[in-house]
Amino acid sequence: WKETMRMPNYPVTYTLAHAQAIAAVKGASILFQEHNSILSEQLSVLYSRMVEAMTQYLWDDQTNNLLLGIQSGEKVRRLTSDSLHSLFYLDPEDFSGNLAKLIEKSMIPLETPIGYLTALPESQEEQSSYHVYNVWPFEQALIHIASTRHKLTRAASVSLRMGFTLSFLKTFPELIRPIANTIPPLEDPEHLVDDFIDISSS
């Protein structure tokens, strides 16, 4: 997960993976409706339990955000783009609109002129981490779709900035890394390329 400088202490529940599993179980339930109604119903019950667990165990009232995860029974708090990313796998009826709005508000420190940072570095070592202090183009697409679906206008606007950036770059890098301490203004694309972008292609 997006805390690669420390190995997790197992057992681990990773919030983003839980959200992905919710979508998978819901999809499987729908697929089996016509061919195996009993299995479909069992999966539907599991899906409901997983959605309930998302808000009961993985929501953190202290930060008004989703936890990064739980390891060895302990809550792991860290501001990452995982929270907005997770909304891609959750339908609005599954996740309270108010909670989604709280996530959007909490993400403001990760906003940049080209989208959302994966996470802010907490140490010098993390400056070079793949999972920290980068903007992932593919993730901006998922965040934009999720934000549109959950009616998060600010997050939809921030994530859409990547589309303009990619059209300017005429390439699709795996990640884009800030190389300046100060985020440059969006309206100055040449400055953006010179002082902000360090492209690492896949």
Question: What's the average pLDDT block by block, 10 residues per block, for the chain (202 residues)?
Answer: 66 94 96 94 96 94 94 91 96 85 95 89 75 90 96 95 83 77 48 53 44
Question: Measured between alpha carbons, how far is 144 from 133 in angstroms, rounded to an integer?
Answer: 19
Question: Measured between alpha carbons, how far is 74 from 112 in angstroms, rounded to an integer?
Answer: 31
Q: Cβ distance 147 to 156 under 8 Å?
A: yes
H helix count then E strand count, the chain: 7, 9
**Quick one: pLDDT at residue 197?**
58
**Quick one: pLDDT at residue 124?**
73
**Quick one: pLDDT at residue 23?**
96
List C-alpha distances in Å: 193 to 16, 84, 131, 178: 31, 26, 21, 10
**Quick one: pLDDT at residue 2?**
66
Whether the pTM exceeds 0.75: the reply is yes
**Quick one: pLDDT at residue 4?**
53
**Quick one: pLDDT at residue 181?**
46
Structure letter (DSSP) for residue 184: P
Ramachandran sector of residue 178 (left: φ over 0; alpha: ψ -120 to 50; beta: rest): beta
